[in-house]
Structure 1
Amino acid sequence: MKPISILAGAFAALSLSFSAASADTRAIYTISNISVDEEAQNTRQAEAEAFATAKVEGLQRLVRKITLPEDRDGIGNSFYSYATANELASAVDVDNEKRSSTVYRADLSVVFNPVRVRSRLQQLGVPYVDRQSPPSLIVPVSEDSSVLEDWREAWPRADRGALNPYVTGLSFYKATDNWSAVSSEVRASGASDAVFAELSGAEGSYRVRLTRVSGGDSMVVGMTGAVATIEDAMLAATEYLDTVWKRQAIVRSSERTTSSATVRYSNLQTWAKLRAALSSSALVSDFQVDAISRDGALVTFRYAGDDTRLAGELRQRGVILTREPSGWVMESALGG
């Protein structure tokens, strides 16, 4: 592994941007890299048709992004009409534009209006998630050294618009590395945990095994289906992480359980992070602090789902939830 000391400066800007990643609504509602190629009687008409195509495709991709397959099955094709897409879109950003007298080509990004999209999905009774998980450090690894460099290069430096936003690691790791190996880079990047993305297979049948590492332990997230190319494998891994987050964060019932816990920490900075993680959890409501000292606090809250689901969602936010004889105890997965 390369010396970790060089990483702090390289990650400084990314760390700042990821500090507010979970609140970046515009990033979630922006669908980028929509390639259009339209031909019409004149360039103005071709451009209008290209924008219309992009808005419809963008709406389809946005709905896939923030909902689960079983929930969007009942939406119906009429929802993806140009009239609906145009109503819900706020802006179109243009890149790599090329035009002639009859042809318009470009890469477009469509920004959708969060309030209008939420309203339409609520009217249809479709559950959705537009709140991001805490960011992860993606660690691309592979036992096949011949594909490792291509696998690392397939990942963008960061993706702030994903539901599970991430920054890609700069150092080289092995699939067998543990928390002690990656913790310094996780902290330098502003992430809350590391996700090892282990590529296996060969051209035409690549798979990615995803393992989440934080606070000294690890948990297998799952494995993607087989895809044809390394680029497809990266996209499949990103989508898999987003889907796992959606299944954790979507709340289908109004039933809530009231509970309390002891929060342990060694400094006020860690307490601030723990409090922010708890109060911003999609499963937690009515969070309040009942007592506080320099190394601990007593909190009460209500939560949706069962204990296992709550523990999993909080762990992704960097909080370890354990049951002791005295009750629930919460600590930072990063220490402190």
Structure 2
Amino acid sequence: MVSRLAIRASGGPKILQPGRFSMPSLRFPRAWLLSLAVLVMVCAVSPVWAQAAGDAFAVRGVDVDVTAANPQAAKEQALAEGQERAFRTLLERLTQPADHARLPKVDGTLYVRDFSVDQERSSATRYIATLTVRFNPTAVRKLLQGEGIAYAEPRGRVLVVVPVYVPTGGRAVLWDDPNPWRDAWNALGGGGLVPVAVPPGDLADVQTITAERALAGDVQAMQSMGARWRTSDVVVAVASPSPGGKGLDVSLIASPSAPKPFDSIAYPLTEGENLDAVMLRAVRDISRGMDTVFKQPNLLAFDRVGSLSTLVPLAGLADWLNVRERLSQVPQVRRWELVSLSKAEAALVLHTVGEHDQVVAALQRAGLGLEPAEGYWIMRPVSGR
């Protein structure tokens, strides 16, 4: 069994072998040190996954329709109801279904950072609009932690969606216009817990992957597209009208590490819905499904707080930058401290949340392997990641 001596309960950092983690008296090239100082400050304060928080804590496509005595009253009621509904959507996005029944019943408008009206129309007594509501991430996290409810942080690595549309009786369309399926993905606005990027279809995109190669699940083309976004996660989303035009058939072709909610599914048209509307509904549903797949193994249990003493072998600055970037993709690592540094190795204390096995698995998914040593762990990038 792997030793767990180096992970412990909360109470402050503890270096288990002070001599082993002491600062060596070595001289470094001045440029190396200046670059390192800037990078340490950036990564210790603003991890990459925090950059996705803006999208994860924003709820888009909130439809409101309220009738009241006059247009102003209808608008005020609609905006308040929309913000409350968006807040509930956000809390459910961040947490597991088993906890939804005990989500706190508070005034959601108190957690709103700002909101925008994407489209609106009104009459003498009615107000109809679509809203985007953005919430204060710090306040929402504090609320859930105070209630003892586990939640997931935004994913640090973007997922690239390649949207292929196959019209009835026509050829597959990817970068050409019109592509209403690509338009629907662009309208998503960045995804939720899993940040989603839709390539713009520039010359480099056209040269990287075609509709035919995407439909074939061409591994090399998908990897090349992911490399342009510095990610290994690519999903080819294929949509076509159902026979008779009664709905939308969707299938997903995904790279191994991408959170894929299903292989194929049919979305029937609902009453009053056209093909463009069902595409928007399908895109939102797929995004929620991706969030769910990602969320299950990444819930942060704040009653399990610990620290992990690690030693990272280095062959140079590039190795350090690689490890630093991968660490920033692990939500379970809330922060880390650089204890000592030399040209050959770095000693770090990782401050973590969650069960030990969850932390180790999260590091592994980010491409960082742990090997037990005497009272500490050796951490190094996993080959091929």
Counterpart residue number, 2:254: 211
Match of 2:135 in 1: 112
In the alignment, what sits opposite 1:192?
231
SS at match of 1:126: coil
**Is the Cα–Cα contact under 8 Å of residues 35 and 105 in structure 1 kept in the other structure?**
yes
In structure 2, what is the equivalent of residue 91 of structure 1?
A: 114
User: Which SS does the other structure have where 2:217 is aligned?
Assistant: coil
Partner of 2:17: none
* Conserved 8 A contact 1:292-1:298: yes
- 8 Å CA contact 1:30, 1:111 repeated in 2: yes
* 3-state secondary structure, aligned to 1:196: strand
User: C-alpha deviations, 1:133-158, integer Å up to 9, x for none?
Assistant: 22122234699986665554442277
Q: What is the TM-score of this pair, normalised by structure 2?
A: 0.63
Quick one: distance in 2 between partners of 1:95 and 1:286? Answer: 37
> Does the 8 A contact of 1:263 with 1:330 survive in 2?
no
2:370–2:380 contact (8 Å) kept in structure 1: yes
Structure 2 vs 1, CA of residues 246 and 223 (structure 1 numbering), >3 Å: closer, same or farther? Answer: closer
* Corresponding position: 1:36 with 2:36: no
* Cα gap change, 1:154 to 1:263, in 2 (>3 Å): farther
Unpaired segments of 5 or more residues in structure 1? 1-18, 213-217
1:32 is displaced (CA, Å) by: 2.0
Offset at 1:37? 2.5
The Cα shift of 1:48 comes to 0.9
Cα deviation digits, residues 201-231 of structure 1 (max 9, x gap): 973574544633xxxxx34744438441544
Match of 2:369 among 298, 321, 329: 321
Greater mean alpha carbon deviation, residues 50-59 or residues 25-34: 25-34
Q: Which runs of 5+ in 2 are unaligned?
A: 1-46, 268-277
CA contact (8 A) 1:22 1:134 kept: no
Question: Contact conserved, 2:152 with 2:300, CA < 8 A, in 1?
Answer: no
SS at match of 1:193: coil
Match of 1:242 in 2: 291
**Percent identical across equivalent pairs?**
21
* Change beyond 3 A, Cα 1:305–1:118: closer
Separation in structure 2 between the aligned mates of residue 29 and residue 290 of structure 1, nearest angstrom: 33
Bigger Cα displacement from structure 2, 114-123 vs 321-330: 321-330
Computing the radius of gyration over CA atoms, which structure comes out larger, 1 or 2? 2
Q: Which has the higher strand share?
A: 1
Q: What residue identity is the alignment partner of 1:102?
A: T
TM-score (norm 1): 0.70
- Higher deviation after alignment, 39-48 or 270-279: 270-279
Rate the CA distance shift 1:324–1:208 in 2: closer, same or farther, 3 A: farther
User: What's the RMSD between the two structures over aligned residues?
Assistant: 3.9
User: How many positions carry a matched residue from both structures?
Assistant: 301
Mapped to 2, the partners of 1:122 and 1:302 lie a distance apart of 17
Paired with 1:322 and 1:139, the residues of 2 have a C-alpha distance of: 34
Question: 1:62 maps to what in 2?
Answer: 90
